[in-house]
Structure 1
Amino acid sequence: MDLLYYVIDAFTDIQFGGNPAGVVIYEDLNEVFMQKFAAEVRFSETAFIKKIDNKNFDIKFFTPTAQVDLCGHATIASFKALLDSQLIEDNNTYLMKTRAGTLSVEVNQSFIRMEQAEPKLGKIFNDYNCLSNLFNIDTNEIGDKTFNLVPQAASTGLWDIMLPIKTKEALYALNPDFKGLADYAKINNIGGFHAFTLDTEEGIGESRNFCPLYGIDEEAATGTSNGALTYYLFKNHVLNDFNKEYTFLQGYSMGRPSTIMTKLVNENNPRVIVGGNAVILTKGNLY
């Protein structure tokens, strides 16, 4: 077995920024090996890519503890790896088969944009005392100053709770009980928690993402979660424009600054596009 393996920082244009992902390009691997490898390298997600033909790719995503349906930053990393390995060409559109469905990916001047799965909103979470205890903040810090936003589950491929926080200072002060978050997520059938604030000098918002249920305490950049946040903000009348790129920041509290671009498309049946840059940190062979 001689496989091409990459470590790529996604949603950034500098090394050691963004969110690192492992990427393996393979022809014949089983999922038991994939899970063991993801657990060994311990990135928040590792992507395993199999070429179907020149336009179609099968991609599987694994955290250190489980397979997940979709991953935004690992998708961006995957197509950066495919471009580097000359399995795809720049300025073109491709399809990737995932457990969340078959989705389109556009590569344009090395900037990668991915279609998200069908956007959905779910349960509203009114248990502010419980949430504030889980994050060690005052209940008055949950919400926002203008739009009356509330904690609610949302998905563009993975279910997260969108957790509005009133100030950037309070967002940075979050001190989660990771065991408690994992238990809460499991009980409520969601993946993680996407805490965000609109109190930012740059872009639409800044966020922090926590997914300890899948072995990820915090991630520096999450494409699917910011895609879900875009749809959540659209449904709450914060964002109203289609075909306009919105900027979201993440990872600054971790020292890994990340920029995630999103866009609403198709007014009659809204979908979300998520895009970003990626930087190759290293590549080599897996034996």
Structure 2
Amino acid sequence: MPLPLYQVDAFTQEPFRGNPAAVCLLESFLDDAILGAIAREMNLSETAFVVPTAGGFQLRWFTPMAEVDLCGHATLATAHVLWQHQGVVGELAFHTRSGCLRAQRFGEWIALDFPQQPVTPLEEPQVQALISAALGTTPLYMGKAGRDLLVELASAEAVAELKPDFDPLARLPCRGLIVTARGKEGDRYDIVSRFFAPQLGIPEDAVTGSAHCSLYPYWQPKLGRQELLAYQASARGGVIKLQPQGGDRLLLLGQAVTIFAGELLL
């Protein structure tokens, strides 16, 4: 039976920018091997598989190499597809490996309720040395952010101009490396970042919603503002609004645009 399949550019309002994700609508989950094969066929940083349930939707995310625990841009893309193309109305509840994630509409923006992930200092000299070798510089700060590592560089320009060495980068014991800095003086963005995850088959991710679950608690006390506007400075670029949601939760707000809709023939 043909399966509805969409490709959506997330965290942008312009086609061919932001982070592309595939969204595949299922009645029940196929075997993991088939889900992985579909993700490899799509060859995007993430493919989302969504199944309706009595309490909302079950949602899983696959890179071309592995299933992951949390993905922001593919969740935003899924919410966009359900509202824009499937006639679903109201708040969405996604049941995932990271718990229940909710999505709401605020005008042209989609708000995702995600868990914050605090950052703690990295105190492993061998890992610090690998990071410095990969980046060609010693960061101002190196920390652990759940399964990711996070480093701060001296300027937004340093983040944008970074050309990492992927050999040491791929040997880091993490899901991915978040590289960040304050926004340029006088710029509209409070913070900038990039995200590298060669371990997952993603040399550089275009826009990484889940990384901002750590970027917010890292930068909020430094900047002294409750709401932050973030820019991920990849080649495609993307914009995320960050707002506290109470407790250890966070709202990630982004926009999305559908690039194509079709059917997967199996």
- When normalised by structure 1's length, the TM-score is 0.85
8 A contact 2:110–2:253 mirrored in 1: yes
Give the equivalent residue in structure 2 for 1:277.
Answer: 255
Q: Which amino acid aligns with 1:16?
A: F
Give the whole-Å Cα distance in 2 for the aligned partners of 1:126 and 1:233. 22
Please state if 1:195 is matched with 2:179: yes
RMSD of aligned C-alpha atoms?
A: 1.8
Q: Deviation at 1:95?
A: 0.9
Relative distance call for 1:125 and 1:282 in structure 2 (3 A) is farther
> Do residues 212 (structure 1) and 212 (structure 2) align?
no
Q: Which amino acid aligns with 2:75?
A: T
**Structure 2 matches for 1:234-245, cutoff 5 A?**
234=220, 237-242=221-226, 244=227
Q: Which amino acid aligns with 1:97?
A: H
Q: Which runs of 5+ in 1 are unaligned?
A: 144-149
Percent same amino acid among aligned pairs?
A: 30
Residue among 249, 262, 269 paired with 2:231? 249
Distance 1:3 1:110, change over 3 A: farther
Alpha-carbon separation, structure 1, partners of 2:116 and 2:137: 34
State the distance in 1 between where 2:193 and 2:91 align: 29
Q: CA deviation at 1:173?
A: 2.7
| Residue of structure 2 in register with 1:228 after alignment | 214
- Is 1:154 aligned to residue 145 of structure 2? yes
Alignment TM-score, normalising by the size of structure 2: 0.91
**Partner-residue secondary structure (3-state), 2:213:** helix
Matched, 1:169 2:168: no
Whole-angstrom CA distance in 2 between matches of 1:134 and 1:83? 41
- Going from structure 1 to structure 2, the CA distance change for 1:163 and 1:125 (only over 3 Å counts) comes to farther
Deviates more, 1:78-87 or 1:114-123: 114-123
Alpha-carbon offset, residue 138 of structure 1: 2.7
Maintained 8 Å contact 1:126/1:151: no
Deviation at 1:177?
2.3
Q: Which runs of 5+ in 2 are unaligned?
A: none
Residue matched to 2:243: 263
More displaced stretch, 170-179 vs 94-103: 170-179
Residue 204 (structure 1) shift: 1.0
8 A contact 1:65–1:214 mirrored in 2 = yes
- 2:59 aligned with 1:75: no
Check the 8 A contact 1:11/1:259 in 2, yes or no: yes
Offset of residue 110 of structure 1: 4.3
Superposition map of 1:38-53 within 5 A: 38-53=39-54
The residue number in structure 1 matching 2:66 is 66
Matching residue of 1:147: none
Q: Structure 2 CA distance, aligned partners of 1:119 and 1:47? A: 22
How far apart, CA to CA, are the structure 2 residues paired with 1:49 and 1:213?
25
Q: Distance in 2 between matches of 1:168 and 1:109?
A: 30
Is the 1:70–1:99 Cα contact (8 Å) retained in structure 2?
yes
Task: Give the letter for the 1:164 counterpart.
Answer: E
